[in-house]
Amino acid sequence: MPKLLSNQYSVYLYLAIFFFLLSCNNTKNIENRTVFRYNEYRNVTSLDPAFSRNPQNIWPINQLFNGLVQLNKNLNIEPEIASSWSISPDGLTYTFYLRNDVYFHESPIFGEKKTRRVEAKDFVFSFDRLKDPVVASPGSWVLLNVENYEATAENILTITLKNPFPAFLGLLTMRYCSVVPKEVTNYYGVNFRSNPIGTGPFYFKRWDENVKLVLLKNQKYFEKDTNGNKLPFLDAISVRFIPDIQSEFMLFLQGKFDFINSLDASYKDELLDYDGTLRSKYFEKMNMLKGPYLNTEYIGIFLDSNNPAIKSKNIRRALNIGFDRKLMVAFLRNNIGYPAKRGIIPKGLPGTSDDEIKYDPKLAKRLVENYIKKTGERPSIKLATDSNYIDLCEYLQREFQKIGIEIKIDVMPTASLRQAKSSGKLELFRASWIADYPDAENYLSLFNSINFSPIGPNYTHYKNPNFDKMYKNSLVIMSDTLRFKKYREMDSLALSDFPIIPLYYDQVVRFVQKDVEGMEINPINLLVLKNVKKISRRN
């Protein structure tokens, strides 16, 4: 987000904030309810779970819909609509036994009763829809390894895989796999995105696009907390779409939002001390929640580039050992995050490499000097980024200059960067990988040669036959211990070829108002509000 806004945009923004604040003091319909308020500066594009491809969509979708299984805060898989399940000894057949007390949110499309119970056939329809080319869901890949699925009884769903895949249950926790009602989705078609009917703890009330989204408590929700209390506790959720992060922060300080999830450079020093702890002046005003986040920030190296410096393994090695990650995280992020001294697999997932990238500027400089002697040229490489990471890239630029590598920074719009990265038009690119599901295979797939971009996520075009063989073999290892051992070997092997420059393993950071109870963080940064309470009300 640019720091300086145009006059026209500024007027629009401040008018929007003015009317927002005015509306906060004129809420007759919700004045006696506990309403959880947050801002989504990235905006929401769809409330259809078939399009739950990014956090801004996933967060409200997670309040509206349920799937067969879910993740708890420790990434353990727990029942959701499926009360239990079994897996065949060969790892190919999964049988799910559904609860008989799950109902869709009320809608006149259901007829006189306005709702109906969820059955196994509803999941069959939902999976069919996920794969339907007319729907064109970006989540259709979740079912690529599925051979068949069928409702073998009213409350029994059987899924058969083409090949064993131990991480399959984790895949099913994704909101892509939520259950949707056939009658409603067929009635609305593409407009189901703004007329969602699910089974979740909250139901859809209103969406003024680019302005406000309101969800209300589902009084008939099926889940209870560990003490047997019916969920959810909140009466409503109100989401605003103010695009400026600094304005979001100011409104949070004024108590107009109940939490913020971002840690923008513009206010990180205001909230945090150097060591990443909350400044004492805010102790009485807010709580800070912090923990591991399955997100690896890295610089990708396009190995099919024509640049001879990128072809050189020694230059790639110099790039990896030529800067101090610990100092970078302290200086740029107030120690929020963990220096990425190992491979692509982040802190918090089993399978991380045993090898370590050690900061060694002297060796890095020698490697560069040897390259110059052999080629007669000083290595010069372009690094592409968007405006959100200019400070990080400029830091790397200065550090690499010290070891003799010239870095030219190319700042691009985010959409252009994404497209150029996928099509192999960049030499170096700033990137991140957030886990789609809690298994290290998700990260290692970035180095499988069958996943070359633009078809798959191997944006570096890394290819190693030994890695490919190990990757294929790991998919059929049902023992967690043995599979995690194989993951460590694969992570070490890829790291030894230096197809990326790992920067840091991220952390979830949330700042929460003092009157909010029950909010928990999790390593996939999923927003879960069904257990949240507000112990006092603010106007």
At 536 the pLDDT is: 65
Q: Is the peptide bond before 232 cis (omega within 30 degrees of 0)?
A: yes
pLDDT at residue 32 in the model = 58
Tell whether the model's pLDDT for residue 232 goes beyond 80: yes
What pLDDT is attached to residue 7?
45
The pLDDT confidence band at residue 102, using thresholds 50, 70 and 90, is very high
Could you please report the per-residue DSSP string of 331-391? Answer: HHHTT-SEE--S-SSPTTSTT--S--PPP-HHHHHHHHHHHHHHHSS--EEEEEE-GGGHH
Q: What SS3 state is found at 88? A: coil
For residue 343, the model assigns a pLDDT of: 92
Q: Tell me how far apart the alpha carbons of residues 537 and 539 are, in angstroms, rounded to a whole number.
A: 7
Residue 13 pLDDT grade (very low, low, confident, very high; cuts 50, 70, 90) = low
Q: Summarize the confidence of residues 345-374 as an average pLDDT.
A: 93
pLDDT of residue 9: 45
**Burial level of 482, CB count in 10 A (0-12/13-18/19+)?**
exposed
Whole-number pLDDT of residue 326: 95
Q: Which amino acid is at 478?
A: M
Given this model, what pLDDT does residue 444 score?
A: 96
- Round the CA-based radius of gyration of the chain to a whole number and report it: 25
**Model confidence pLDDT, tens digit, residues 189-217:** 999 999 999 999 999 999 999 999 999 99
Lowest mean pLDDT among 29-38, 155-164, 356-365: 29-38
Instruction: Say what the pLDDT of residue 262 is.
Output: 76
Lowest-confidence pick of 133-137, 469-473, 474-478: 474-478
- Mean pLDDT score across all residues of the chain: 92
Domain 1-41+202-262+514-539, CATH number (from 3.90.320.10, 3.40.190.10, 2.70.98.60, 3.30.530.20)? 3.40.190.10
274 pLDDT tier (thresholds 50, 70, 90): confident
* Length of the chain in terms of residues written: 539
Angle between helices 361-375 and 313-321 (to 10 degrees): 150
| Residue in 279, 383, 293, 303 with CA at minimum distance from that of residue 336 | 293
Counts for the chain of helices (H) and strands (E), in that order: 16, 19
Quote the CA–CA distance of 407 and 484 in Å, as a whole number: 37
Q: Identify residue 262 by its one-letter amino acid code.
A: S
Which pLDDT tens digit goes with each residue over 241-265?
Answer: 999 989 999 999 999 999 999 788 8
Pick the CATH number of 66-199 from 3.30.70.100, 2.40.50.220, 3.40.50.2300, 3.90.76.10: 3.90.76.10
How would DSSP label each residue in 135-196? TT-TTGGGGTTEEEEEEEETTEEEEEESS--TTHHHHHTSGGG----HHHHHHHGGGGGGS-
CA distance 403 to 362: 8
State the pLDDT at residue 128: 98
Cβ pair 338, 329 in contact under 8 A: yes
- Which of helix, strand or coil describes residue 429? strand
pLDDT, average across residues 38-53 = 95
Q: Would you say residue 356 has pLDDT above 50?
A: yes
Judged against a pLDDT cut of 60, whether residue 154 lies above it is answered with yes
H or E segment to which residue 309 belongs: helix 308-311
Q: Is the peptide bond before 465 cis (omega within 30 degrees of 0)?
A: no
Q: Among candidates 67, 71, 41, 34, which has minimal Cα distance to 56?
A: 41
> Do residues 467 and 448 lie in contact, with contact meaning Cβ atoms separated by under 8 Å?
yes
pLDDT band for position 415 (50/70/90)?
Answer: confident
Beta carbons of 40 and 56 less than 8 angstroms apart: yes
pTM of the model as a whole: 0.85
Tell me the mean pLDDT in the region 323-333: 95
Give per-residue pLDDT as tens, 489-519. 999 999 999 999 999 999 999 999 999 999 9
Phi, psi angles (nearest 5°) of residue 77: -85, 130
The CA distance from 416 to 384, in Å, is: 10
The rounded distance, in Å, linking the Cα atoms of 123 and 130 is: 10
**DSSP-derived secondary structure letter, 267:** T
The pLDDT value recorded for residue 8 is 45
Average pLDDT over residues 439-452: 95
- Nearest CA to 89 out of 478, 474, 439 is that of 478
For residue 90, the SS3 value is coil
Sheet holding 93-98, edge to edge: 82-87, 93-98, 156-161, 146-153
Query: How confident is residue 447, by pLDDT bands cut at 50, 70 and 90?
Result: very high
Q: According to the model, what pLDDT value does residue 204 have?
A: 98
Angle between helices 390-402 and 325-333 (to 10 degrees): 150
Q: What is the DSSP letter of 300?
A: E
CATH assignment, 293-507: 3.10.105.10
Does position 2 have pLDDT exceeding 60, yes or no? no
What are the structural domain ranges in the chain?
A: 1-41+202-262+514-539, 66-199, 293-507
Which of 151-155, 262-266, 267-271, 333-337 bottoms out in mean pLDDT, i.e. has the lowest?
A: 262-266
